[in-house]
Structure 1
Amino acid sequence: MPITIADVAARAKVSKTTVSRVLNGKGELDESTAARVRAVIDELGYVPSARAVNLARGRTRVVGMLVPSLTWPWMGEVLQGAVDVLEAEEYGLLLFTCNRGDDSMRQFGAQVAAKSFDGLLVIEPEGTLDYITTLHSRGLPMVLIDDRDQLSGGQIPTIGTTNHSGAADAARHLLAIGRHKPLVITGPARFGCTVQRTDGFSSVYAEAGHPISDAHVMTGDFTVACGADGVKQAIALGLEFDAVFCHNDLSAFGVVQAIQDSGRRVPDDVAVVGFDDIPMAAHHQPPLSTVHQPMREMGEAAARTLLAHFDGTPVPNRQTIIPATFTVRASTQA
């Protein structure tokens, strides 16, 4: 049977409270008593529960992370960035997804009530913002990751990137290679990143004297299928286009396939640009030019911000921006 704190107390002829104080370094103790307890701990080979010790110190040394799903293409990069920082500081990660809807959120709420973690990293699952904001207002330290600052009204600290300027860089690249008639495949209209990417891209074309018509902007859902369907619809409508800007890489993959299926060439006839720079983008055929979102860096920054708060640094109620960058590959420039 495992050695318990009661065993140590009995052998050292002290109370369990005294043993606990020795383990946690709390309270004033006679040095000879403390030495006797430590000697018994060594003799019996007692290993205290890390969770129990941390709870006694007022911390679990665990960070919670709430995400919509692990199937999002860039989710692994965010998680790895956060885990790298947490493990280096000897923190654990308790991960929650919303794959089962309300059941998942009830399970998450039970862990919040049990104080199973010291703070929370969040990639906001759709429809949970009010609940998350309430948790924050009640004192749960948290940091949001992605483009949710505008949705939380600035109440919750956020690590974000430059969706607007990233899309503008994509537009400048396409204009520089002589593409004046782009088709745009957006994300869902309700997402803040969709608005920012649409505005950033369209504003550059308008300033260059090539405004993008509404017919050339098609609402997608970030899937491969929506990219392919957008191209097929544009061809069926007789729209002229020499480039396609997609709001994520998956839809860009669908665009490339549909263009090639139509008998056109990428990039000779149609240049294609994505957004995210997921690992597959560099290995696609042709390799995809795309806006690189610093997802791993965002995960790292969110974890550092939360850990700094545990050490006494207030979490800033503002958005911290890590700039996106543009990566040129063969889908726009042979």
Structure 2
Amino acid sequence: MTVTIRDVALRAGVSKTTVSRVLNGRGELDERTAERVRAVIDELGYVPSARAVAFARGSTRVVAMLLPSLAWPWMGEVLQAAVEVVEDEGYGMLVFTTTQGDESMRRFGAHVSARAFDGLLVVEPEGQLDYIAQLHDQGLPVVLIDDRGHEPRFPSVTTTNRVGALAAAQHLLSLGRRRPLVVTGEPRFGCIGERLAGFADGYRAAGVELDPALRVEGDFTYESGQAAAVRALEAGLEFDSLFAHNDVMAAGAMTVLRHAGLRVPDDVAVVGFDDLPAAAQCDPPLTAVHQPIREMGATAARMLLANFAGDPLPSAPTVLPTSFTVRASTAG
């Protein structure tokens, strides 16, 4: 039969509150009473539930992370970095996705109501910013990872999308490439507008206006990168370079270019965005804007844990800079 806190209290001749205080080291207690309670705990083999201890302490020592999907190419990187920081500090991690839409959010909301975690890291599920902001306003510590250009009214960690795209333009211009095909992500994400603007800024500064016909929309998948390259080639568009808004689309496009008999980088120089570990494994290895994905996940986790220790969360976004990695897809 399971031993309960009531059993301990009865055997020790104290209240359940006194037993709870002994377990959690809270409140002033007569040392002889505390010793008696501890002896009974040992005698009966009482093991308090993690949930009961968490409730008594006012802390679960658990962090939640809400993600749109684990299938996104860079999601594993940001998740792993956050988990490493959280676990190094002795916290656990609950991971939620929104792959089942409203049902996923109902399950997540039930855990919020049960106070199953102390704070939340979130990569914004589409259409949920207002709900996440409401949780923050109600007192739940929240940090958003990758604001996608939406500038939420709660703490966030983001990167320099516009500056990164500018670097891509400047690199291609330095190679004499003046007719880039741009494979965009979905325009509903604010970061896509920033990447388009930064890339155009670079060419405009060199006196080149980008040809609107050389812009093809993708959806961040390998297949959409392939489709974008196929459409451009079938339309007879002339381009000497390609800038894709993520590495995966760049890899898909390079496959099509190679099958069409075009050489990368001799005929078409290719640049991606993210610089995931797989970028170095492409054929040829992919030049890419390096988005500090792991650093973003780790920084957000450290901010949240510091808040648990009493530090206020920053009121302004924390912006980590992009960098640029040159490989054989442009270097020749």
The TM-score normalised by the length of structure 2 is: 0.96
1:246-285 correspondence to structure 2 within 5 Å? 246-285=244-283
Equivalences for 1:140-159 in 2 at 5 Å? 140-148=140-148, 150-152=150-152, 155-159=153-157
- CA distance in 2 between counterparts of 1:15 and 1:59 reads 23
Residue in 1 that maps onto 2:163 = 165
In structure 1, C-alpha distance between the alignment counterparts of 2:91 and 2:190, rounded to whole Å: 32
- Pairing of 1:1-334 with structure 2 (within 5 A): 1-148=1-148, 150-152=150-152, 155-334=153-332
Segment of structure 1 superposing worse, 123-132 or 36-45: 36-45
Could you list the runs of 4 or more consecutive aligned residues of structure 1 that deviate by over 4 angstroms after TM superposition? Answer: none
Question: Is residue 149–residue 189 contact of structure 2 (8 Å, CA) maintained in 1?
Answer: no
Deviation at 1:51, TM superposition (A): 2.6
Confirm or deny: 8 A CA contact 2:65 2:94 kept in the other structure.
Answer: yes
Q: In 2, Cα distance between the equivalents of 1:291 and 1:168?
A: 10
Q: Is the 8 A contact 1:163 1:196 kept in 2?
A: yes
Shift of 1:43: 3.7
Partner Cα distance (2:246, 2:116) in 1: 35
The residue identity in structure 2 corresponding to 1:289 is T
Residues in 1 aligned to 2:125 and 2:291: alpha-carbon distance in whole angstroms: 19
Q: Partners of 2:65 and 2:305 in 1: how far apart? A: 13
Normalising by structure 1, report the TM-score: 0.95
Q: What secondary structure sits across from 1:150 in the alignment?
A: coil
Quote how far apart the aligned CAs of 1:296 are: 1.1
- Aligned partners of 1:45 and 1:202: how far apart in 2? 69
Q: Give the Cα–Cα distance (whole angstroms) in 1 for the partners of residues 206 and 149 of structure 2.
A: 30
Question: How big is the shift at 1:243?
Answer: 0.6
Counterparts of 1:193 and 1:292, CA distance in 2 = 15
In the alignment, is the contact (CA less than 8 A) between 1:149 and 1:158 conserved in 2? no
1:41 maps to amino acid: I
Q: Residue type of the partner of 1:7?
A: D
Quick one: which amino acid aligns to residue 172 of structure 1? Answer: Q
8 Å Cα contact 2:67-2:122 kept in structure 1: yes
Task: Specify whether residues 92 and 149 from structure 1 end up closer, same or farther in structure 2 by C-alpha distance, changes over 3 A only.
Answer: farther
For residues 215 and 205 of structure 1, what CA distance do their matches in structure 2 show? 16
**Unaligned residue ranges in structure 1 (runs of 5+):** none
Aligned Cα root-mean-square deviation (Å): 1.5
Q: Matches of 2:266 and 2:289 in 1, distance apart?
A: 20
